[in-house]
């Protein structure tokens, strides 16, 4: 089944084909019309003509051209999110019509924790790219959260469901948070028996970590407050956070997915194991509610659920039932 693009009506009297819109989106991302045309199999002259036809249909110059560079015009920047939505609608329609893996195409923009990606997602990427040769991945990896909508991302991996009504979320896997320290630190400072003992210990804060409420087996309550006076270390990178804990800098709250190997090897030791967070976290795949769940996003979510979510290594084979939140 060939796909030569759909046609959409603009203002009730002009139509544009989605190949022209696809060319514009690629040109906006690459800031190069010829390179965008080559990716779509168009000679430079054909690409320029196709883009001019689109601009005539919308009644505005979408790209500013010079002999040295291409830039988005004001109108182009305003039209770009709508252009992406049109392509998303087309992809969803084609997926519903039964197109296979070889027809799932496009660039998928993902933002995720660099620490999680390094341990679990990146080793899987060669397999995904082989399964879906039409998909390109644009990964923006940072332990500082990037804005999903402002950054025009298709998908984000988060360790909590953000309180944003414009987002939907699919659970990737359950997780736990636990307090850890190195054996050397505990030998020097002693092992806390109750959360109240933490006030006499060095605590390490991760990013803007606020006070975390802890609950004991009998409902007894306590707090982990790494920003209390006397605590001197704040780290915004997950791997560095773990390294500092292993080096003996203090007691830290870690995700089980991050430290389960170190716990089994004995290079980190859990403390206050009878106490848990009052709200156990999970890992979520988050996407804008306004977006159609395109074929490229759908197959990527399904891939991660199958390879990671169904058998999270940090949960020792416990199965996770996927769920969706909006």
Q: Which two tokens stand for residue 305?
A: 């659920």
Residues 188 and 273 in one domain: yes
15 in a structural domain: yes
On whether the CB atoms of residues 242 and 262 are closer than 8 A, the answer is: yes
Maximum mean pLDDT: which of 46-55, 241-250, 277-286:
241-250
67-125 confidence digits (pLDDT tens) = 778 899 999 999 998 888 888 777 766 665 555 555 788 899 999 999 999 999 999 99
CA 154 to chain CA mean position, Å:
8
Q: Specify the long-range contacts of residues 309-317, CB closer than 8 Å, at least 24 apart.
A: 309/171, 309/172, 309/173, 312/173, 312/174, 312/175, 312/257, 313/120, 313/257, 313/260, 314/175, 314/256, 314/257, 314/260, 315/173, 315/174, 315/256
Residues 24 and 164 in one domain: no
Q: For strands 282-288 and 167-174, give the pairing.
A: antiparallel
DSSP string, 253-291: EEEHHHHHHHHHHTSSEEESTT-EESS--EEEEEEETTS
Residues 87 and 126 in one domain: no
Q: What is the spatial distance between Cα 204 and Cα 251, in angstroms, rounded to a whole number?
A: 6
What pLDDT sits at residue 321?
A: 37
Residues 230 and 204 in one domain: yes
Q: How does the average pLDDT of the chain come out, rounded? A: 85
Is the predicted pLDDT of residue 166 greater than 70, yes or no?
A: no
Residues 14 and 66 in one domain: yes
CA 92 to chain CA mean position, Å:
21
Confidence band of 148 (pLDDT split at 50, 70, 90): confident
State the residue for tokens 């399904």: 302
Total residues found in the chain within this entry: 326
Residues 159 and 300 in one domain: yes
Residues 111 and 45 in one domain: no
312 in a structural domain: yes
Q: What is the mean pLDDT of residues 166-186?
A: 91
Residues 128 and 111 in one domain: yes
CA dihedral 90, 91, 97, 103 (to 10 degrees): 130
On whether the CB atoms of residues 92 and 293 are closer than 8 A, the answer is: yes
DSSP string, 236-262: --HHHHHHHHHTTS-EEEEEHHHHHHH
43-73 confidence digits (pLDDT tens) = 999 999 999 999 998 889 999 988 778 899 9
Neighbour-count burial for 183-205, b at 16+ CB within 10 Å, e otherwise? eebbeeeeebeebeebeebbbbb
- Rg of the chain over all Cα atoms, to the nearest angstrom: 24
Is the predicted pLDDT of residue 247 greater than 90, yes or no?
A: yes
Q: What is the CATH number of the domain that holds 65?
A: 1.10.10.10
**How many domains, the chain?**
3
What pLDDT sits at residue 12?
A: 47
Please tell me whether residue 213 adopts helix, strand or coil conformation.
strand
Which residues span the domain enclosing 87? Answer: 7-96
Q: What is the spatial distance between Cα 172 and Cα 197, in angstroms, rounded to a whole number?
A: 35
DSSP string, 107-176: EEEEEE-HHHIIIIIGGGHHHHHHH-TTEEEEEEE-SSPPPTTTTT-SEEEESS--S-TTEEEEEEEE--
Structural domain ending residue among the three candidates 65, 96, 127: 96
Q: What is the CATH number of the domain that holds 156?
A: 3.40.190.10
């Amino acid at each position: 089944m060939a796909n030569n693009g759909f046609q959409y009506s603009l203002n009730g009297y002009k139509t544009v084909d989605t190949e022209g819109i696809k060319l514009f989106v690629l040109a906006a991302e690459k800031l190069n019309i010829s390179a965008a045309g080559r990716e779509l199999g168009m000679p430079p002259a054909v690409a320029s003509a196709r883009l001019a036809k689109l601009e005539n249909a919308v009644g505005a110059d979408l790209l500013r051209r010079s002999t040295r560079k291409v830039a988005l015009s004001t109108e182009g920047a305003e039209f770009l999110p709508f252009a992406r939505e049109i392509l998303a609608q087309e992809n969803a329609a084609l997926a519903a019509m039964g197109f296979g893996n070889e027809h799932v195409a496009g660039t998928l923009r993902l933002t995720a924790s660099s620490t999680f990606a390094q341990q679990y997602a990146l080793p899987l990427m060669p397999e995904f790219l082989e399964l879906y040769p039409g998909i390109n991945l644009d990964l923006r990896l940072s332990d500082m959260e990037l804005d999903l909508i402002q950054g025009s991302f298709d998908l984000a991996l988060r360790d909590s469901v953000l309180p944003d009504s414009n987002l939907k979320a699919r659970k990737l896997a359950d997780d736990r948070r636990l307090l850890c320290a190195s054996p050397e630190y505990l030998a020097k400072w002693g092992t806390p028996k109750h959360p109240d003992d933490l006030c006499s210990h060095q605590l390490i804060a991760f990013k803007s970590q606020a006070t975390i409420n802890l609950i004991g087996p009998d409902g007894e309550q306590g707090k982990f407050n790494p920003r209390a006076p006397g605590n001197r270390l704040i780290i915004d990178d997950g791997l560095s956070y773990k390294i500092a804990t292993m080096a003996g800098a203090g007691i830290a709250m870690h995700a089980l997915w991050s430290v389960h190997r170190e716990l089994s090897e004995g290079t980190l030791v859990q403390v206050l194991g009878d106490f848990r967070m009052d709200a156990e976290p999970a890992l979520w795949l988050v996407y804008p509610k306004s977006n159609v769940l395109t074929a490229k996003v759908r197959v990527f979510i399904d891939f991660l659920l199958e390879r990671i979510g169904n058998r999270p290594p940090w949960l020792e084979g416990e199965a996770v039932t996927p769920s969706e939140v909006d």
